[in-house]
Structure 1
Amino acid sequence: MKKRSSHIYIAVILLVAGMGLASCGSKKAPATAEKEQGKEHDHEEEPNTVTLTPEQFKTAGIVFGLPEKRDISSAIKVNGLLDVPPQQAVSISVPMGGFIRQTTMLQGMPVKKGQVLAVLENMDYIQLQQDYLDARSQLEYASTEYTRQQELSRENVNALKTVQQAKATYESLQAKVKGLREKLNLININTAALEKGTIQRSINVYAPISGYVTQVNVNLGQFVNPADVLFRIVNTEHLHAELTVFEKDIPRLKIGQPVRFTLANETRQRTATVHLIGREISQERTVRVHCHLEEEDTQLLPGTYLQAMIEAGAAKVQALPEAAVVNFENKAYVFVKDTAGADSTFHFKMLEVQQGSSEQGYTEVTFPEGVQPKEIVVKGAYDLLAKMKNSGEEHGH
C-alpha cells in the first residue's frame, strides 16, 4: 500500500512539470515579438508608393524615360460671356420730365427704330411752346426795328447808340429762338406745326434703334425725371464674345486666332475669332478679349455665360507619352523611380503634375517647382496605379 502511494506522488510531480514546460514554450520573449512586429511594419508601403518584385517588374514591362521638348498645339482655356457693343444697347430717358400717359411695352417685345414707346404729358411742354412763339414774334419785331434803325443811321437821323441797342436786342432774341427750337426738337415737338399754331400737350418717346426691350421701368401715371431710365433696348444682331484671359496667357494671344466656345445652356460648339485684345490688366490680373462670332444668331441673349478655348498655335513644351500620365482622384500623376531600399525590389513614387494639351500621342506636363525627375515610368504606369489601388483596398480591410 505504501509503495502504491509513492508511485502516485511521482506521477503528479511529472505532470505539473510537463505543464510548466508547455506554458513556457507557448510564450515568446518581448524582444522577439517586437522584432517580428517591426518586420511586419517594414513591409507596409507608404502612401502613393508602389513596390514590385523583380518578377512583377518584368511582367509589367516597365520602361523609363525623360520629358522631351515637342511642338504641341496649345489652347488657352478661358471663361467669358456674350455681350453687345455699346452702340447696340440703349438706355432711354427723356430730357424733360412728364407723366406717363400711354405705353404698351413689355420685356422681350421686339421694336423697330422710330416706333413709339411711350406718350408723356406735362404743363411745362405747353409753356415751352408758348415761350417759343412769344420769342419768335419778338424776334420779327426786333428784326424790323433793327433794319429801320440802320436806315436812319445812314441818313444821320439817329444816334449810333440807338442802332447798337437795336442790334443787341435782335441778336439776343435770335439766340433765344434758336435755343427754344432745339429744346422743342429734343422732346420731339414739331416746330413747323407749332409755328402754324398747333400746340401739343403731350410728347412721344421713340425707339432710337431696332431690337428687343430688356427693361421696362415705368407704369401709367408715373412721373419720370430726366435722370430716370424708362426703357432699355438691345439689338442682338451683332453679339460678340467677351473673354477673360489671365495675365500669364496674354503673350500667346494674337488678333485673328480661332476660338471655340460652348454656351452654358448648350452642348454644341460655336466658333469665333479674336478681334481685339485689351490693353489694361485688371486688379484680378486679367485682360478682356473681344471676339467676333462666325455665325450670328439673334436668339442668343447678352450676358449668357460661356467656356472657350483660344487656339494659340504650336509651341515647344515639355512633354511625355500619354501613357506616362495617369489620372487619380481628379488629378494628374506620373510614377518616378524611388531609390529608397537596398533590396532587390523596385520602388516607385507617384508625383503630381499639371497636364496641358495633347497631340500625336504626347501630352504637355509641368512638374512642381524645383523638381525634375530623371527616371519616369513611360510604359506600365497604369499597372502601377492598379497595384497601388489594390494595396490601398487591402490595407483598408
Structure 2
Amino acid sequence: MNFIKYIGIPMVMVSILFACNSKEETAAEEEHPHEEETNSVELTEGQIKTAGISLGKIEPRQISGTIKVNGVLDVPPQQLVSISVPLGGFLKSTTLLQGSRVQKGQLIAVIENPEYIQLQQDYLEAMNQFEFAKADYERQQELAKENVNAQKTLQQAKSTYQSWLAKRNGLMAKLKLIHVDLSEVEKGNITSTGNVYSPISGYVTEVNVNIGKFVAPSDVLFEIVDTEHLHAELTVFEKDVLKLRIGQKVRFTLANESEERMATVYLIGREIGADRSVRIHCHIDKEDKELLPGMYLKANVETGGARVPALPNEAVIDYQGRKYIFIPVEGEEHEHHEEKQTGEKPAENTHEHEEGTHYKMVEVQIGNSELGFTEVTLPDTLDLNIEVVVKGAYSILSKIKNSEEEGGHAH
C-alpha cells in the first residue's frame, strides 16, 4: 500500500504538469492564431463565365526601360536678362510691374543723372577739337608733300588728331550706353536723362527699384525672361547616367497636372554634383507660353527597349502592396496544396458538389509597363510557359476576399 501511495504522488505531479503545458499551448495558439492567408479559390463553370475569366501565356514583348527623375522648368541663359544701368543714376520713370509683358526694344525706364550733362558737353568739345585736329593734320600732310613744313610739325598734327579721335569715340560709346541720341546732342540739345530699353521680348519677373531710387551700375533693376523656349532641367543620379543618350524621349508632368508632356534629351551634363547627380537639359516638344520657369516636374526618361516576359496589365493585381497573378491549378496539385495547409486530406467529391476549377494566387515582381503590358518576373519554381489568368483576375481576388470575410476557405 505504501508503495502504491508513493508511486501515485509522482503520477499526479506529471498529470498536473501535462495539464499546465496543455493550457499554455492552447493559450499560445489563441494568442497567435494561424495567420496563413487563403491564396487559392475554386470557381464553377458558371462563375468563370460570369466573371469573364480567360487564360493566356506570358509572352516576350518589347518594353521600353524608363528612369524616374525630378526636375524643374528653366530657361537658357540668353533668354533670362538682368537689366542694369552701366553709368548709374536716379530712376525717373518706369511702368513695369512683375508679370508685365514687354517687347524687344521697348522703353522700360528713364534714368536721370547730372553726370550725363557733363558727358555730352565733353563729347561736343571733343567733336569740335577732333574736326579742327583733322583739318590741321590734312593740311600738314599737303605741306609735307611740297616740303614746306618740318617733319616734326606733321607728326605733332597727327598725334593731336589721333588723341581727339580716341577721346571722341570714347565719349560716343559712353553716351550710347545710356541711349542718348547723338544727333540731338550734336545739334546742341543736351539732356540729363538716359533711356533703358528691353533687349528681349518676354515677361518681367523681378522689379527691384522704385521712382527716385539711385541705382549703381552693379544693381539689377529688372529681370526679364522669354518663356517661349523653356526647357526641362532634370536631375539624374550617378547610377543612371550611363543609360542616357542624346535624343531619348522624356515624358513629364507638372505639379497638379495629370496630362503628360513630351521632351527630348538635348544635352547631358559632364560634371557630377555634390549630391552625386548630373543635370540633363531637355527641349520641350510642344512649347507652351503659359508655363513659368521654376515649375517642378516629375519625369520618366525612356532609356531604350528590350524583349522581356510580359502580361497584360489587367492580369497583374495589386493586393496589400504586393503584385500577384492567378494560375489554374490541376486537381492533384490543388489537393496536395490543401493537404499541406490543413494537415488533412481533402474530402472526396460527392454528387452534391459541383466540380470547378481551382485558381492559385502567385506573387510576382514587376518591371516597366508600356502599351498595356507589364514586365513580370515569376518565382523560380514556375515555368514561363504556364497558363495565366489574363482577364477577370480581380473577380477571382474578390471571391478570395469574400471567403476570408466569411471565415471560410475559398477552396
Global fold match (TM > 0.5): yes
Distance between the aligned counterparts of 1:83 and 1:285, measured in 2? 18
Deviates more, 1:279-288 or 1:246-255: 246-255
1:100 maps to 91
**Does residue 289 of structure 1 match 2:281?**
yes
In the alignment, the residues of structure 1 paired with residue 142 and residue 367 of structure 2 have an alpha-carbon distance, to the nearest angstrom, of 93
Q: Verify the 8 A CA contact 1:73 1:359 in the aligned structure 2.
A: no
Cα–Cα, structure 1 residues 359 and 197, in superposed 2: closer, same or farther, change >3 Å? closer
Supply the AA of the counterpart residue of 2:116: Y
- Aligned counterparts of 2:70 and 2:222: Cα–Cα separation in 1: 30
Q: From the superposition, tell whether residues 299 and 323 of structure 1 become closer, same or farther in structure 2 (CA, over 3 Å).
A: closer
Q: Separation in 1 of the partners of 2:96 and 2:181?
A: 24
CA distance in structure 1 between the aligned counterparts of 2:201 and 2:228, rounded to whole angstroms: 10
Shift, 1:358, TM fit:
5.5
Label 1:358 to 1:153 Cα distance change in 2 as closer, same or farther (>3 A): closer
Partner of 1:374: 381
Alpha carbons of 1:300 and 1:384: their partners in 2 closer, same or farther (altered >3 Å)? closer
Looking at structure 2, the residues matched to 385 and 173 of structure 1 have their Cα atoms a distance apart, in angstroms, of 99
For 1:29 and 1:85, how far apart are their aligned partners in 2? 86
In structure 1, the residue matched to 2:298 is 307
Aligned twin of 2:153: 162
CA shift, 1:277, in A, is 3.0
Counterpart CA distance in 1 for 2:382 and 2:37 is 15
Letter in 1 for 2:92: R
Match of 1:364 in 2: 375
Cα-to-partner distance string for 1:359-388 (whole Å, 9 max, x where unaligned): 65x533579xxxx7434997799869968x
Partner of 2:263 in structure 1?
Answer: 273
Q: Any idea what the Cα deviations from partners look like across 1:268-290, whole Å, max 9, x if unmatched?
A: x1432305031424323234131
Q: Distance in 1 between matches of 2:397 and 2:382?
A: 17
TM, length-normalised to structure 2: 0.69
| Structure 2 match to 1:17 | none
SS class of match (1:29): helix
Query: 1-side partners of 2:397 and 2:288: how far apart?
Result: 49
Q: Which stretch has the larger CA shift, 91-100 or 66-75? A: 66-75
Instruction: Report the number of matched residues.
Output: 352
**1:34 aligned residue (15, 21, 37):** 21
What SS class does the counterpart of residue 228 from structure 1 fall into? coil
| Aligned CA-pair RMSD | 4.4
- TM-score, length of structure 1 as denominator length: 0.71
CA contact (8 A) 2:105 2:198 kept: yes
Counterparts of 1:51 and 1:123, CA distance in 2: 90
CA contact (8 A) 1:264 1:306 kept: yes
1:345 aligned to which of 337, 340, 348: 340
Q: CA deviation at 1:217?
A: 0.5
Among 217, 226, 229, the alignment partner of 1:235 is 226
Unaligned 5+ residue runs, structure 1?
1-20, 336-341
Secondary structure in 1 matching 2:109: strand
Distance 1:281 1:351, change over 3 A: farther
Alignment of 1:1-397 (within 5 A): 28-34=15-21, 37-38=24-25, 50=37, 70-267=61-258, 269-283=259-273, 284-294=276-286, 296-317=287-308, 327-328=318-319, 330=321, 332=323, 344-346=339-341, 353=365, 355-357=367-369, 363-365=374-376, 373-375=380-382
1:5 aligns with none
